[in-house]
Structure formats: C-alpha cells, structure tokens
Amino acid sequence: MDRLYKEHTDRPQMPDLGDVAATADVRFHGRKAGQVIALPWQVRLDDLAREGKDMIEIQMAHTLARHDDTYTPTAYVFESQTESGLLSPVPVRAVSDMRLRPAVAGN
C-alpha cells in the first residue's frame, strides 16, 4: 500500500486479502487490525487509516500439510492443503456507509 489521501481517510478502509491459505494476522502502522481464519478474507482498518504513507503487514500461519507431504508422505494430505501464503493481490477499499434493510412483503 503506497499512500492514502485525505478523501479516503474519512471512511474506514478494508484490505481484501483475496485467497489465503491458512490464517493471516493483519497489522496497520504497527497496530493489530485483526486476524482472519476463514472467508471473507477481509479486515476493517476503521480508525487506523490516516493520511500519508501507509504500512500494512500481513503475517501468515500455515498448516503442517506441506511438511507432512514432503517428509512423511501420507494419503491424508491433499494438493489444496499444500498451498500457503497470499495467493492473490491485496486491494484496499473504502467501506461503504450503505445499510441494507429487509424487503417488505408486497413491495
């Protein structure tokens, strides 16, 4: 992430981690923003975003599947379990203020 401008800091920002294998801890300006363990792979930055140069850190934790598959081959490790890390780009988007309401019957 390069830089946030003033018009973007008035709304919470949310990095979309895309495809993640295992779990991810997200830090923004050195402060913990959140942890993701399942879809959607997104973390709200809320009050952490500020104008100027930004730094986002994403620390991944993986399963032992790749290790097990390499050193102690087993039929219980599947190919999808050996992928690890961020598997796609990480765009950061502003969170919308839009609220959804339930539909009223007959309308």
pLDDT in tens, 20-77: 777 889 998 889 999 988 888 888 887 777 767 778 888 888 777 777 777 877 788 7
Rounded Cα–Cα distance for residues 39 and 19 (Å): 9
The answer to whether position 35 is within a domain reads yes
The answer to whether position 106 is within a domain reads no
Whether the pLDDT of residue 7 is over 60: the answer is: no
The answer to whether position 89 is within a domain reads no
What average pLDDT does range 78-94 have in this prediction? 77
Residue 65's CB: how many other CB atoms inside 10 A? 20
Rounded Cα–Cα distance for residues 86 and 65 (Å): 16
Radius of gyration of the chain from its Cα atoms, rounded to whole angstroms: 18
The answer to whether position 14 is within a domain reads yes
Rounded Cα–Cα distance for residues 82 and 88 (Å): 16
Structural domain that includes position 50: 3-62
The answer to whether position 22 is within a domain reads yes
Two structure tokens written together for 39: 């879809």
**Where is pLDDT greater, at 23 or 78?**
23
The answer to whether position 47 is within a domain reads yes
Predicted TM-score (pTM) above 0.85: no
